[in-house]
Amino acid sequence: MTFSADDFLKALDQHDFNFDKGAVVKGKVDSHLDDGAYIDIGGKAAAFLPVREASVDSGVSLETAVPLGSEREFMIIRGQDANGQVILSIRQLEIKEVWAQLEQREVNKDIVDVTVTGTNKGGVTADVAGLRGFIPRSHLVNPPEDLSALVGQTISVAFLEVNQENNKLVMSGRNAARTAVMGQLRPGQLVDGKVGAIKPFGVFIDFDGARGLLHVKQISKSFVSSIGDVFEVGQAVKAVVLNIDEERGRISLSTKVLEKYPGEIMKEPDKLMAEAAERAADPSKLMAEQED
């Protein structure tokens, strides 16, 4: 029994090849052109890999990305045309892998270094392994008035949201700084910062890129009727670390443990702050006072 070319094509049509958009196929590099490469994936016609789809890194040459005769996986980004040809991509496969890696890094609460590439109304953009990420102004550490001054700089960030489906990659410099600081903090340690915000329940103190809460009950051994009478935004403050909750990313502070008498921070704040380092020299004593 002879097997003609027509018989071969009929058999090929009946074979369960998945050449739909999004499918991953194996192929062998057949030839190079100026604008791409032809790839043999076992279809009716050779598939085409545009040069822009050869790698997530635009600086990689076609010859380096897909050497002649090499075999590898590709993703179909356009289904078969009238001639049976499909369009392939390596870049999309690499991007898919990058998203998977970043999702895991978000779970691990990793800190990564990124380069700021641009600005927009709400913050700055940065390159993350070939993907475009966003860092809101509120999540930058000490952002300049003109955010364009950050372009080209490398900053450390943590991940706020990694969502490939919505193409959202949002990061935080503040969270990265807080994570780094929290790993070095110890209860009883004195920190030197500034008042970042005043709320009815307490004061947020910014220090070393992190933010801790000085609860109203930890301001003084005496009752504090108005926090605004004791602190103002931007004011320099020294406080003692009471607790570090790494799981929830919270740092609890106290100036109460530095007082020699109830209400000292309201009556002699300058003296208390001037002597803060000396008074905090014995962390164990401070913690014992707190427990009392």
pLDDT 10s digits, 77-103: 998 888 889 999 999 999 999 999 999
Domain 5-89 and domain 109-177 have a common topology: yes
Decide if pLDDT at 68 tops 80: yes
First-to-final CA distance of the chain: 99
Could you state, in order of their start, the residue ranges of all structural domains in the chain?
Answer: 5-89, 109-177, 185-291
Q: What are phi and psi of 140, to 5 degrees?
A: -95, 145
pLDDT exceeds 80 at position 285 = no
Q: Residue 266: exposed, middle, or buried by beta-carbon count in 10 A (0-12, 13-18, 19+)?
A: middle
**Rg (alpha carbons) of the chain, rounded to whole number:** 30
- Of 30-34, 75-79, 178-182, 189-193, where does mean pLDDT reach its minimum? 178-182
Which fold would CATH assign to domain 5-89? OB fold (Dihydrolipoamide Acetyltransferase, E2P) (2.40.50)
Match 């929290």 to its residue by tokens: 182
Q: Does the 109-177 domain belong in CATH 2.40.50.140?
A: yes
CATH 2.40.50.140 fits 185-291, yes or no: yes
CA 175 remoteness from chain centre: 9
